[in-house]
Amino acid sequence: MNVNLIKEFVAIVGKDQVFADEVDRQAYSYDAAVLMPQVPALVVMPETQEQLGKTVKLAYENGLPITVRGAGSNLSGAVIPSSADTVVILTNRLNRILEINEEDLYAVVEPGVITSVFAEAVSARGLFYPPDPGSQTISTIGGNVALNAGGLRGLKYGVTKDYLMGMDFFDCNGDLIKTGSRTVKCVTGYNLSGMMLASEGTLGVFSQIILKLVPPPKDSKAMMAVYDDIADASETVAAIIAAHILPCTLEILDKKCLTYIEAYTHAGLPVDAAAILLIEVDGSHAQAVEEDADKVIELCKKCGAKYINIAKDAAEKNKLWEARRNALPALARARPTTVLEDATVPRSKIPAMVAAVNRISEKYSLEIGTFGHAGDGNLHPTILCDRRNKEEFKRVEDAIDEIFDAALNLQGTLSGEHGIGIAKAKWMEKETNRATVNFSKKLRLALDPKYLFNAGKKIV
């Protein structure tokens, strides 16, 4: 990049907060998706709102593509720079929790705050921020909002969108836009926070985010139901939802996942089982929690669980959730390449989707481990392969096409929580239609006429 332009970025944020050397820039060429990297021209780390706005303005005025990056943990290529002249804006120094309001149950944060750091700070004040993506110890709130991240508690407590009350963001001119409020209700203007949610860095750059907090549940009960047949496990998920019970967590792990997780964590998982369900019910009244747990146990047995282990204490419960959170790292150790998918279906269709993934795994002779937020209909079929093997990777790509076709045929969606990014942009029209893609393009170009905000992602 032109040296004088680099000096202008340095003048805004200081020289230690600009990476111009190639070795430094390389670290920002990829994210957690299996896609080709692209080294950006410059990496800039603003530390204040003012610096952030000026950085956006300078890049945009000079026609430089802008990719905003939180922790880079997304799985869809959402922060891989679109071209070699891209400026990556890192939010890791915009990491202040500005307010936790215990009276009015909200918090105001900067976008680079780490999700679990925020959740712990809220918990220390006796409140609860439920969205808990498996990546919560590294992901940022800005990344969570820009992808509408979900988590293990999505079934009962919802996902990031259910906690977004408002935000400030910078538009392409570096002007600060304010939307939403600290109030429970607010219909002032358009719902611009709703528009920015899941926008994947394509419409503007968040600088402050207002999040709803809730009182924590007082009681909970967690259990592991063990099955000899994965079809029985997936039938149990559908049966629990159909019985109108809402566990806070309802996760499925198949045999492959159990084997790899156990080898990695030694958590004592039943590796001889075909599948397990990890289930937690919670609430404000111990008796109601007990009643829900009893009903869930009954349904698990009725659907064929061979046994059910109930966590005796918090330590046992945490051990189960830790094992679940380690599913992806454990699978990733098996082969050089791990392709994690995110197909999501209506909950009653979980048994059909599980069957479809198993059929596709056999058809393409691929090792696919399936885990996920089954209670949300959100499965993560994870293909273990080696990208360098061209023949094998072609089978992987064909299998992914079929996984999406299966999800769409079951009235599902391409992505429950990982976003579209580069990885799934080509399927957008298949799930929606041409008019929808054109409408979205018009919206995008109205707000970003030079098409510089995260080009090549989401809507192309």
Applying CB under 6 A, the residues found at the interface with ligand FAD are 31-32, 67-75, 78-79, 91, 111, 133-135, 139-140, 142-144, 146-147, 149-151, 200-201, 205-206, 328, 417-418, 454
Structure tokens at 82: 């679109």
Q: Among all chains, which residue has been given the structure tokens 């399927």?
A: 427
Measured from the CB atom, the residue of 1 and 332 that comes closer to ligand FAD is 332
Residue 376 carries which DSSP code?
A: G
Residues 6+ apart with CB under 8 A from 39: 22, 25, 26, 28, 29, 81, 84
Measured from the CB atom, the residue of 341 and 417 that comes closer to ligand FAD is 417
Measured from the CB atom, the residue of 212 and 418 that comes closer to ligand FAD is 418
Measured from the CB atom, the residue of 317 and 418 that comes closer to ligand FAD is 418
Q: In Å, what is the CA distance from 134 to each residue of 251, 335, 385, 449? A: 12, 21, 22, 36
Give the shortest CB-378-to-ligand FAD separation in angstroms.
8
Could you give the CA distance from residue 61 to residue 398 in angstroms, rounded to a whole number?
A: 42
Give the shortest CB-160-to-ligand FAD separation in angstroms.
8
* DSSP secondary structure string for all residues of 393-435: HHHHHHHHHHHHHHHHHTT-BS-SSS--TTTTGGGHHHHS-HH
Measured from the CB atom, the residue of 255 and 418 that comes closer to ligand FAD is 418
Measured from the CB atom, the residue of 140 and 179 that comes closer to ligand FAD is 140
Could you give the CA distance from residue 38 to residue 89 in angstroms, rounded to a whole number?
A: 15
Question: Residue 276 forms beta bridges with which residues?
Answer: 226, 253
Could you give the CA distance from residue 418 to residue 330 in angstroms, rounded to a whole number?
A: 19
Q: Among all chains, which residue has been given the structure tokens 């969606």?
A: 413
Beta strands in 150-231 (DSSP E): 164-170, 176-180, 205-212, 219-227
Could you give the CA distance from residue 147 to residue 161 in angstroms, rounded to a whole number?
A: 9
Helical residues (DSSP H) of 115-229, grouped into ranges:
115-124, 141-147, 154-157, 192-196
User: Is residue 258 within 8 Å of residue 369, measured between CB atoms?
Assistant: no
Backbone CA torsion sign across 82, 87, 89, 90: positive
Measured from the CB atom, the residue of 239 and 382 that comes closer to ligand FAD is 382
Q: Among all chains, which residue has been given the structure tokens 């096409």?
A: 401
Give the shortest CB-302-to-ligand FAD separation in angstroms.
29
* DSSP secondary structure string for all residues of 223-266: EEEEES-HHHHHHHHHHHHHTT---SEEEEEEHHHHHHHHHHH-
Give the shortest CB-80-to-ligand FAD separation in angstroms.
10
Secondary structure (3-state) at 161: helix
Measured from the CB atom, the residue of 95 and 140 that comes closer to ligand FAD is 140
Give the shortest CB-53-to-ligand FAD separation in angstroms.
12
Measured from the CB atom, the residue of 141 and 305 that comes closer to ligand FAD is 141
State the residue number with the nearest CB to ligand FAD. 143
Give the shortest CB-407-to-ligand FAD separation in angstroms.
16
Measured from the CB atom, the residue of 79 and 403 that comes closer to ligand FAD is 79
Give the shortest CB-332-to-ligand FAD separation in angstroms.
8
Give the shortest CB-413-to-ligand FAD separation in angstroms.
13
Give the shortest CB-445-to-ligand FAD separation in angstroms.
18
User: Is residue 238 within 8 Å of residue 347, measured between CB atoms?
Assistant: yes
Give the shortest CB-280-to-ligand FAD separation in angstroms.
15
Q: Among all chains, which residue has been given the structure tokens 């680079």?
A: 112
